[in-house]
Amino acid sequence: MIREIHVKDLQVGMYVHELGVRWMNHPFLRNRFRISKPSEIEKIRACGVATVRIDTRRGADVPAPAGPTKQELAQQVAACKTEETRPEEKTAERMREDTARCARIYRETLPVVRQLMDEVRSGGKIDAHRVSRQVEQLVESAIRNPSAAAAMANLKGHDEYTFAHSIQVSILSLALGTQIGLGKDELTLLGTGAMLHDLGKASIPLRILNKPGRLTQEEFRLMQTHPQRGVSHLTEKGRGSRPEVLSCILEHHEKLNGTGYPRGLSEPEIGLLPRIVSVADVYDALTSDRVYQRGTTAHNAIVILYGLRNLHFDPRILNAFIGLVGVYPVGTMVRLNTREIAVVVSANPREPLRPDIEILTDRDQKPLARAQLVRLSEAEATRGSARRTIAGPWASADGARLLRITGSSFKDAAPT
């Protein structure tokens, strides 16, 4: 398999498939070769490339980061979990109401973001302050019920990715900001910065933004200019913005270990707000369907993010995020120890492995006449002698059909 890796991950024994520089500009005899000594890695680094493509069938692969076990994830969440923002029990009814309220604001915000992006594309003056008015409503929503806001952002529709992504990242960032205890003013700056984080992409040609194949080095470099472009649009063509908002735009691709862009900042130099946006951005990008790939499951995205804690993401923020969305985020289809299939309908921050679920099939995986709500945290959640527990995520093309025919509360949110 050909895979692109960062030069810092190069090791002796890997087979270089493409260096990304012309033959005359690198010191090796061939364009493709096996790395046989550490000095060759130094020579590759000296070429100034950030990434290299390797062929894992002909040489060593990058060791996979050790994935966390369910228990490890749960322990991390429990150890770092912030206090629950609302002590009273959130009923399924209340979750539904708050999620619906957040979805309404989301729909009202879509045309505002679309118009802003159009203004950037046409090169005229832009008015980013309209975004702040929408953000204020989202802040209220996130403060009222961060779990519902995060759940809403998990329900993927079919809206155009760029606009939908900006708003989803804003909602997720606000839910996370509320979870870690930010005040209302900071939340408004965070929500605005998150909404505008990819504004600079509006001046990247659409043929590159939507390119189904791999970007060339030149296209990739152009794409990497979108943080500075976003800041320039606001400061030159807009009415300016607060530094906290600009830092979200400029630093959302920076990584704790210094391998991000545009400035390669490392841990102490990256602001708190962009660290939050960065987690929300990558989570939403991983779980969204794109022109060139289908999104992964929310559970899988959590596992991937967790594998990058300390490297790309601030572990405290990541743990708060996992506490918020759960190890099995709302909408995840799961398989129980009883072999029944269920869907997660509400996260349980006290016990991340025991969310509220709706059971959709019997133990022979035959659909039930009606989805059955079960709180896994409650002792009486038993069937026969076995207490129900989640055995793991369940992925099947049948998921949407199961949700529909059992009348699950998630039937309208199911991917088609």
State the minimum distance, in angstroms, from the CB of residue 223 to Fe ion: 9
Location of structure tokens 């009486």: 380
Instruction: In whole angstroms, give the CA distance from residue 39 to residue 356.
Output: 55
Q: Which lies closer to Fe ion via its Cβ, residue 86 or residue 121? A: 121
Q: Which lies closer to Fe ion via its Cβ, residue 13 or residue 264? A: 264
Q: Count of residues for the chain?
A: 416
Instruction: In whole angstroms, give the CA distance from residue 284 to residue 296.
Output: 10
Tell me the residue number closest to Fe ion, measured at CB.
198
Q: Which lies closer to Fe ion via its Cβ, residue 40 or residue 198? A: 198
State the minimum distance, in angstroms, from the CB of residue 154 to Fe ion: 20
Q: Is the dihedral of CA 320, 321, 326, 330 positive or negative?
A: positive
State the minimum distance, in angstroms, from the CB of residue 198 to Fe ion: 4
Nearest by Cα to 325 from 172, 131, 214: 172
Strands 386-387 and 382-383: antiparallel
Q: Which lies closer to Fe ion via its Cβ, residue 150 or residue 204? A: 204
For residue 250, count other CB atoms closer than 10 A to its CB. Answer: 22
Q: Which lies closer to Fe ion via its Cβ, residue 198 or residue 356? A: 198
State the minimum distance, in angstroms, from the CB of residue 252 to Fe ion: 6
CB 327 within 8 A of CB 48: no
State the minimum distance, in angstroms, from the CB of residue 246 to Fe ion: 14
Q: Which lies closer to Fe ion via its Cβ, residue 163 or residue 394? A: 163
> Any bridge partners for residue 313, and if so which?
309
CB 344 within 8 A of CB 354: no
Measured in whole angstroms, the distance separating CA 119 from the mean position of its chain's CA atoms is: 27
Angle of CA points 40, 46, 48, to nearest 5°: 125
Nearest by Cα to 131 from 196, 202, 186: 196
240: left (phi over 0), alpha (psi -120 to 50) or beta: left
State the minimum distance, in angstroms, from the CB of residue 285 to Fe ion: 8
Location of structure tokens 């870690």: 180
Q: Which lies closer to Fe ion via its Cβ, residue 291 or residue 369? A: 291
Instruction: In whole angstroms, give the CA distance from residue 312 to residue 279.
Output: 9
State the minimum distance, in angstroms, from the CB of residue 290 to Fe ion: 13
User: Interface residues with Fe ion (CB under 5 A)?
Assistant: 198
Q: Which lies closer to Fe ion via its Cβ, residue 198 or residue 340? A: 198
State the minimum distance, in angstroms, from the CB of residue 200 to Fe ion: 8
